[in-house]
Amino acid sequence: MRTEPTILHLDMDAFFAAVEQASKPSLRGKPVVVGGLGPRGVVSTASYEARRFGVHSAMPTAQARRLAPNAAYLGTRFGLYRAVSEVVMELLHALSPLVEPLSLDEAFVDLEAHEAPAGTQGGAEGARQVGERLRRDIRAATGLSGSVGLAGSKMLAKIASEEAKPDGLVLIEPGTERDRLAPMSVRTLPGVGPATGEVLRRAGITTIGEVAEAGADELLRLLGKAHGTAVHAMAHGVDERPVVAERDAKSVSVEDTYDVDLTDRTRVRLEVERLARRCVTRLRAAGRSGRTVVIKVRSYDFSTLTRSETLRGPTDDPGVVREAALRLLDGVDTTAGVRLLGVGVSGLADFTQEDLFAQAQAARSEAEAEAARQAAEADAERDSAVVEEPDAAVPADRQWIPGRDVRHAAHGRGWVQGSGVGKVTVRFEEPDTPPGRVRTFAVDDPELEPAEPVMLDARVAEALARGAAPAPEGGPGGGAGQSPAPAIRPKSRSGGAGASWGSGVSRP
């Protein structure tokens, strides 16, 4: 264990939802839910305003709609989230060469691997100064807030950042770990999930302090040697895991959940082919190849099975992956109905090996390859949210998913608030403008077209700091109730409305 709190954990606050609120002035301070929008969609992120009504990540969107019917329900914009994440990660790399990203919005930083930034001192106070400066820099660069935890180990730094939420900083002084951990639930420890928690509960152990008191022998008896040893060490605040700069991906995969169970075998095969194409697109984008192809099939009753096949050597050939996935599918009965399909590649390598049975086929033309790439990218963008079936007359590239950016020839930039029955409702506003007006158009209006998102940058951050939009009624979050008007117009399926977003509360 370190004698100074030099491991920093950053966790951006409600990241996807916060990006949407920063991008859309009318949603600031209002309940926002980001994720899949169809009957089987799942919540990716809920804003803190939405969490007050019980909405949380991984919840079925249908359940979220019952809890918060007036929230704004938006599809994801992963391109924008990645771009904002890159800005944040650059700020972390300025602190230390040892940065371990866990996701787009979360990372560990080893502050010992770099000299203290100018203007800060060493020790615990210096670490606190670094954390506060990081939070200020993130807000200045993106307009977003992040919570920071500082401690002598990764486990404690992550626990500290959870305590700091939202928009705060918590530092756990080395030597105080046992007292800090003792009253916490056993589920706070990494690796202690529902099953392990239930085993410990039945033994009368519900807090971390009780885990520490139980002793190593009792934990080994309850949990087994490997797991029991790890839980015993963590309960005493011991976590020797280093910050690892590069976490090598073990696999690349894609999957889709369907609004209606797939029962037609031909449709299932076509979906597997499409997923295999997307998987290879991601594989090539990462500059990798793989030798094991995996399919995942979830049936109507939620039972899930996986099948895998190991090839003769690593490959990034779409034909090889597709044919292997289809062979695996041949051994799966899908007649009862399929609600989810997935295709993945594991056993990754940085090179490819000619495959004798597939790559001996005639080479595809450049035009065919380009068409496949474009189709895969279109599929990947569509996959960012599961939505209701669009009107049949609307082309695939003009599906108006709530939250997506658009541009109108006469009214300028805006975002889709909702669509349905041949109409699309758009709110015309930009990140640095006041809340805009809402207008409705035909879904095939030739003057309305998709647009690229506006990046959250210093200019947008300044607008947020100035309070470009008026504060919501009842203070930040709009008071205890939901917004007085539904986020969805009666003729629209989904969308969002709201007032302005109050700034987060910063705690020392």
Q: Which secondary structure element, helix H or strand E, spans residue 63, and what is its range?
A: helix 61-67
Exposure string over 400-414, b if 16+ CB within 10 A, otherwise e? bbbbbbbbbeebebb
User: Is residue 4 within 8 Å of residue 128, measured between CB atoms?
Assistant: no
* Strand-strand pairing, 437-442 and 423-428: antiparallel
Q: Which of 27, 11, 9, 8 is nearest to 19 (CA)?
A: 27
Provide the annotated active-site residues: 106
Which tokens is 345 given? 């590649």
Provide CB contacts within 8 A for 163, sequence distance 6+: 149, 170
Residue type, 147: S
Reported as type and span, the H/E element at residue 360 is: none
CA-CA distance, 425 to 419, in Å (whole number)? 6
d(C-alpha 333, C-alpha 331), whole Å: 7
Spatial distance between the Cα atoms of 418 and 438, rounded to a whole number of angstroms: 11
Give all strands (DSSP E) within 337-409, no chain letters: 338-349, 405-408
User: In angstroms, how far is CA 334 from the centroid of its own chain?
Assistant: 30
The type of residue at 170 is V
How many whole angstroms separate alpha carbon 436 and alpha carbon 439?
10
Strands 72-74 and 32-35: parallel
The Cα–Cα gap between 64 and 55 comes to: 5
d(CA 91, CA 109): 11
Beta sheet of 7-12, edge-to-edge order: 99-103, 106-110, 7-12, 146-151, 169-171
